[in-house]
Amino acid sequence: MAQTLETLSRHSNTLTSIRGIVHTMKTLSAINATPYEHAARSIEAYHQTILQGLEAFAYRTGEIRLRQVEALEHLFIVFGSDHGLCGNYNEILAAVVRQNSQLQASTKHRLLCIGAQMNDALDDQGLTPDAVLLPPASADGIGRLAGDIVTRIDRFSRGQPLYQLGVTLAFTQRGEHGAREPVTLRLLPLEPGLLQREKYWNSRSLPDYTMEAEALLSSLIRSHIFASVFRASAEAMVTENAARLALMQQAEQSVDERIEDVKGELRSVRQTEITNELMDVIIGFEALQKKRRPEALQPARTASKPRKS
């Protein structure tokens, strides 16, 4: 019984240490998500400015009709995690990428993966990335990653026009009521409505520009691509930390329940041990009482009455 009590005590101490680690992981996930949320909101405002610039360019220059042809090659850029403890976060997105690649079976596909864990998930789906990049270690690294991806898109195009190039972003974004959902966003070819001319301009000041139209359009499109990649990376980091936070909350609750169970067993074992020790004392006391009682009665049985003279 003493050995069982010692084992339970050691088990309780181990669970308490595990709970401390889980609580620390949960706190870090909540703290890490905040800078990425700020980055996502900032790039969203910047992206809206770029879209307004494209709208103004189309209004000033005239509507630009983009040719819609099927791309000969398609590049999937998949944003996943580099660390574990986030449940099936990567596996769900990898299944979505697999499904989308099957829908475009006539097109040659290439994969650019962000995150070692996502690389393993894609490998389980039978998909092999051409390159695996490290996700940003902080919010400051999102711009570096986005710039690297834009450069790789330029290399992938090999001078082809944008309407002949297919690029899709696959990432997990925030949904309603704290939910997460995997999405695929077509980045290239550009959407036809992106350079559609509006009939009326909602301002008294008509838009104008001084630099060359081709250089301005190229700069706006590149900024649009950069902002889209930046937002996808930021959303992926926010949802990754949210997934890890939710998993750590579940783990913390499970550990708390297990600690309560072990403490209950520990109290039961202690009470049983105390009861057994008390029973041993009582039994020993009764045994001593029984032994002393015959010795006290022995002189009365052996004494004889005196004879009369």
For 214-234, how does the pLDDT look when each residue is reduced to its tens digit (9 = 90+)?
Answer: 889 889 989 999 999 999 999
Residue 308: predicted pLDDT: 54
pLDDT-above-70 percentage for the chain: 88
Distances 219 to 50, 224, 237, 239 between C-alpha atoms, Å = 10, 9, 27, 30
Three-class secondary structure of residue 75 per DSSP: strand
Three-class secondary structure of residue 186 per DSSP: strand
Task: Tell how strand 180-188 and strand 166-174 pair up.
Answer: antiparallel
Alpha-carbon distance of 276 to 90, in angstroms, equals 55
**79 pLDDT more than 90:** yes
Instruction: Please report which confidence band the pLDDT of residue 148 belongs to, taking 50, 70 and 90 as the band edges.
Output: very high
pLDDT in tens, 100-110: 887 666 678 88
Q: Which residues of 55-81 are buried (b: 16+ CB within 10 A; e: fewer)?
A: bbbbbeeeebebeeeebebbbbbbbbb
**In this structure, what token pair is assigned to residue 64?**
């630009």
Spatial contact of 269 and 5, defined as CB atoms under 8 Å apart? yes
Q: Tell me, yes or no, if the pTM score tops 0.75.
A: yes
Polymer length of the chain: 309
pLDDT in tens, 160-215: 766 677 899 999 998 877 788 999 999 988 887 787 877 778 888 888 888 898 88
